[in-house]
């Protein structure tokens, strides 16, 4: 039964869908080279393990997803990583993505080893406030991707790094 109540996606729903979309798109964009695995429990901040079939290496990802920008003019969006689950060892990366429905608007693939120095570390979280503008030269621009193919290329580079 559908009611006339207005509903909005919750952050939990957006997060779950974002992880699924990321996993699916990474397989498609890599033509099957990358194989995502979901940990049984992600209480340590790892949402996906990305396995590279060519190098037989794994990159742990913490996936953060948003569906809208926080500042329309600057096109900025904020992603928070809890310090309690933050781990920079092991080649972990943050995959932060701005989505429009199931479409990728913009994504940032940031090694956790540099996140601590780039993000605002006040309180219990590291905050990333990045611009989705193509012309933006903010401190996160080097980690920004506008399509899954370029994102896959960056991930494959992470396997060798």
Helix/strand/coil for 6 = coil
Q: What is d(CA 45, CA 81) in angstroms, rounded to the nearest whole number? A: 8
Q: What is the pLDDT of residue 52?
A: 97
Regions of the chain where pLDDT drops below 50: none
Phi, psi of 48 (to 5 degrees): -140, 145
Helix/strand/coil for 60 = strand
The angle, 0 to 180 degrees and rounded to 10, between the axes of the packed helices 11-29 and 148-160 is 80
Query: Where do the domains of the chain lie?
Result: 11-160
- Per-residue model confidence as pLDDT tens digits over 49-85: 999 999 999 999 999 999 999 999 999 999 999 887 8
Q: What is d(CA 18, CA 99) in angstroms, rounded to the nearest whole number? A: 8
Strands (E), the chain: 34-37, 48-52, 57-66, 76-82, 93-100, 103-111, 125-131, 144-145
Q: What is d(CA 152, CA 149) in angstroms, rounded to the nearest whole number? A: 5
Q: What is the pLDDT of residue 124?
A: 86
Fold of the domain built from segment(s) 11-160: Trna Endonuclease; Chain: A, domain 1 (3.40.1350)
Phi, psi of 26 (to 5 degrees): -65, -40
Strands 76-82 and 125-131, bridge-based pairing:
antiparallel
Q: What is the pLDDT of residue 161?
A: 64
């Amino acid at each position: 039964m559908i009611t006339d109540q207005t509903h909005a996606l919750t952050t939990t729903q957006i997060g779950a869908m974002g992880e699924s979309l990321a996993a699916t798109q990474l397989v498609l964009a890599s033509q099957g080279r990358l194989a995502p695995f979901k940990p049984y429990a992600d209480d340590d901040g790892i949402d996906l393990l990305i396995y590279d079939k060519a190098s037989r290496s794994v990159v742990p990802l913490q996936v953060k997803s948003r569906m809208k920008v926080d500042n329309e003019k600057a096109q900025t969006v904020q992603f928070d990583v809890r310090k309690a689950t933050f781990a920079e060892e092991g080649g972990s990366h943050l995959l932060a993505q701005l989505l429009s429905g199931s479409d990728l608007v913009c994504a940032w693939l940031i090694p956790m080893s540099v996140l601590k120095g780039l993000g605002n570390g006040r309180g219990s979280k590291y905050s990333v406030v990045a611009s989705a503008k193509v012309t933006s030269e903010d401190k996160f621009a080097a980690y920004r991707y506008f399509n899954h193919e370029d994102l896959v290329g960056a991930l494959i580079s992470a396997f060798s790094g």
